[in-house]
Structure 1
Amino acid sequence: MLFPNPLRRLAAALALALGASAVPAMAAPASGDAPVRIVVGFAAGGALDIFARALAEKLRVSLDTPVLVENRPGASARLALENVKRAPPDGKTVLISPAPPFTIFPLTYKRLAYDPDKDLVPVAYLADVPLVASASVNQPYRTMPEYLAWVKRNPDKGGVGLVTLGGSIHFGVLSLSKSIGVPLLPTAYRGAVMMLTDEIGGTLPLGIDAVGGQMELYRAGKIRFLGVTGTRRSALLPDVPTLAEAGAPGFETASGWYSAFVPAGTPPATVARIEKALLDAVKDPVVRDKMSALGMEMNGKPGDALRKLIQAQRMQWGPVVAASGFTASE
């Protein structure tokens, strides 16, 4: 299948990143101490892997110890979490995780191999990953209010593209559907490239995915941005309203995030040391600029704030997930 030029360039860039990121983030230990492992649940080359490697370079200096990135992809990041859960609580293993294993999965999976509240200690809330609703420039609507008016006139065309069922975007679409009284259908794709291909081709009226994966097509004039998730406008897209601002509620807590955790039982002083090192790292201008290009906004909040965020988001999504009847399976 031949993709438009921006999509081919995106695929080429990802392939290049995959090759480059196969290089370890650090050289072998020189001090004799065991290195710190940063464990991520996705393959090398993706945005989270690149973020972890940027953090590793900063932690090597601030912790004065070798730091390695270990990729353990599979099971929507649960394999990585389970690996960290089993690690010794000595401060030598750090998980960098997206939100779903802590906020959504406890609501959608009947059984998990970990307890999100007992098996890991929240260390730091590191970065936000804004998501944006987009549509082809050839669609008759230019704004979210115009899209909502259009889909109310065309309720049989209520498909909304996303890359994963059972995530916050899925349940945000269901919330919006209830709010506007139109049967919107969350439509899952194998990846963002396939979703955006259908979007540009006009067969998908609306898609929602991370900002970073859509920016090249947006700059090329292939798609329009109609609204971002969250409660405030993204610094990456200051002229694009939030979906709530644009009359599409349900996505206020749908933005993605990346945060750090360590195994339960890690001494508080060790947790505090890692927390400080991570918060200092995400404040670094080099890290902020590098990750901004990949669609991330550095946050930098301590572990206590992360713990409260997880509980609040789980409470937010609980009734929506229950009403949907959705359950996740392997």
Structure 2
Amino acid sequence: MERFFSLRKVTAMLAVTCAAVGPGVAAASDTDNTPTRIVIGFAPGGALDVLARSIADKLRVSLGGVVLVENKTGASTRLAVEAVKRAPPDGKTILISPAPPFVLFPMTYARPGYDPDKDFIPVAHLADVPLVASTSVNQPFKTMPEYVSWVRKHPETAGFGMASMGGAIHFGTLAMSKSLNLPLTPTAYRGASMMVTDVMGGSLPIGIDAIASQVGLQKSGKLRFLGVTGTKRSTLLPDVPTLKEVGIPGFDMASGWYSAFVPAGTPAATVSRLEKALIEAVKDPALRAKMAVAGMEITGLPGAEASKTIQTQRAQWKPIVEASGFVAND
């Protein structure tokens, strides 16, 4: 009888203990079982989508559990940015973003809907996306200096093509125009394919876009590459000089990049764990080779480097953006 009474007491004590800690245990379990989401602001099939899904494959092993890629398009990627801003700061939602939402949008949108410095923590710099200036093989100029001379003689046809206004190429063109006193006209297209078509046809003298969208046409003899953006030659096009090398200013920081971010408030230990996993993922040789085909140079740098890049680029573009008076509208 005494034994039965003691067993009942133990059972009751266990019930009280479970009641006290039950919610916490359940919450931890739920959190552990919650899928990790990688959110991007582009549709499936593009270069960033390929990168995100390749990283997701690696994280399923290094982090364990389910890792999903969510394509949240709209408002020039700002819908994706805002969605991650509102997500719980538990490390289960990761934004992979290009440069504009963190470098240029805060200066070109009156109300972007987020504060890039207060609402996010940079986790890792994943890849650089160098761009290349191209022209038709039938144009009379074969180098950028020759193009500059040609523009001075033909100012009425000085269109300079790009995929969109309000990006680094737009402001780089303005900086180049001012520095060299050239009457350049930024010409925006709805897509790179339309721009490249006009470049090949000769109606657009020159255009700048990602290497991946043009390299096939260059290899087939339909385009001529004149220079790449950035401060050093691209490993993807080692024989093509930088624009700076050939005397063209304005494009040192015009290359694209992709970095990972989490919502502000995410614990430091969680950020550190994600940083390590993301850097290991992109430095995998097979992933690196795969992304080279998509026109990316893998970097795999810590979040502190991503933050430094953002602040440095923002400082360079700020006076150019302000002088232009450009205001972005969707």
TM-score with structure 1 setting the length = 0.90
Quote the residue 1:172 is aligned against: 172
Quote the residue 1:17 is aligned against: none
Aligned identity (percent) is: 66
How much does 1:329 deviate?
1.1
Quote the residue 2:151 is aligned against: 151
Q: Which amino acid aligns with 1:296?
A: M
Quote the residue 2:20 is aligned against: none
The alignment's C-alpha RMSD in Å is 1.0
Quote the residue 2:278 is aligned against: 278
Cα distance in structure 1, aligned partners of 2:298 and 2:237: 15
How much does 1:220 deviate?
0.7
SS of 2:59 mapped into structure 1: helix
How much does 1:34 deviate?
1.0
SS of 1:212 mapped into structure 2: helix
Q: Identify the range of structure 1 (317-326 vs 140-149) with the bigger mean alpha-carbon deviation.
A: 140-149
Matches within 5 A, 1:156-235: 156-235=156-235
Cα distance in structure 1, aligned partners of 2:45 and 2:79: 18
Matches within 5 A, 1:251-270: 251-270=251-270
Q: Which amino acid aligns with 1:260?
A: A
Q: Does 1:300 align with 2:300?
A: yes
Q: Which amino acid aligns with 1:136?
A: S
Matches within 5 A, 1:43-62: 43-62=43-62
Cα distance in structure 2, aligned partners of 1:317 and 1:220: 36
Cα 1:35/1:172, change in 2 over 3 Å:
same
How much does 1:154 deviate?
1.2
List 4+ stretches of structure 1 deviating above 6 A. Answer: none
Q: Deviations over 1:256-302 (max 9, x none)?
A: 00000001100000000000000011110010000000100001110
Cα 1:274/1:32, change in 2 over 3 Å:
closer
Q: Which amino acid aligns with 2:199?
A: E
Q: Does 1:239 align with 2:235?
A: no
SS of 2:218 mapped into structure 1: helix
Aligned residues: 300
SS of 1:37 mapped into structure 2: strand
Cα distance in structure 2, aligned partners of 1:303 and 1:88: 19
Q: Deviations over 1:208-239 (max 9, x none)?
A: 00001001101110000000000000000000
Cα distance in structure 1, aligned partners of 2:196 and 2:113: 34
How much does 1:32 deviate?
7.3
Cα distance in structure 2, aligned partners of 1:193 and 1:46: 13
Cα distance in structure 1, aligned partners of 2:148 and 2:182: 9
Quote the residue 2:327 is aligned against: 327
Cα distance in structure 1, aligned partners of 2:123 and 2:302: 6
Cα distance in structure 2, aligned partners of 1:200 and 1:253: 26
Cα distance in structure 2, aligned partners of 1:46 and 1:59: 20
Matches within 5 A, 1:31-42: 33-42=33-42
Q: Which amino acid aligns with 1:206?
A: I
The gaps in structure 1 that reach 5 residues or longer are: 1-30
SS of 1:96 mapped into structure 2: strand
Q: Which amino acid aligns with 2:62?
A: S
The gaps in structure 2 that reach 5 residues or longer are: 1-30
Quote the residue 1:130 is aligned against: 130
Cα distance in structure 2, aligned partners of 1:112 and 1:212: 30
TM-score with structure 2 setting the length = 0.90
SS of 1:301 mapped into structure 2: strand
SS of 1:307 mapped into structure 2: helix
Quote the residue 1:78 is aligned against: 78
Q: Deviations over 1:123-160 (max 9, x none)?
A: 00000000000000000011111111111111112100
Cα distance in structure 2, aligned partners of 1:55 and 1:158: 41
Quote the residue 2:108 is aligned against: 108
User: Higher helix fraction: Structure 1 or Structure 2?
Assistant: 2
Cα distance in structure 2, aligned partners of 1:317 and 1:304: 20
Quote the residue 1:6 is aligned against: none
Larger Rg: 2
Quote the residue 1:65 is aligned against: 65
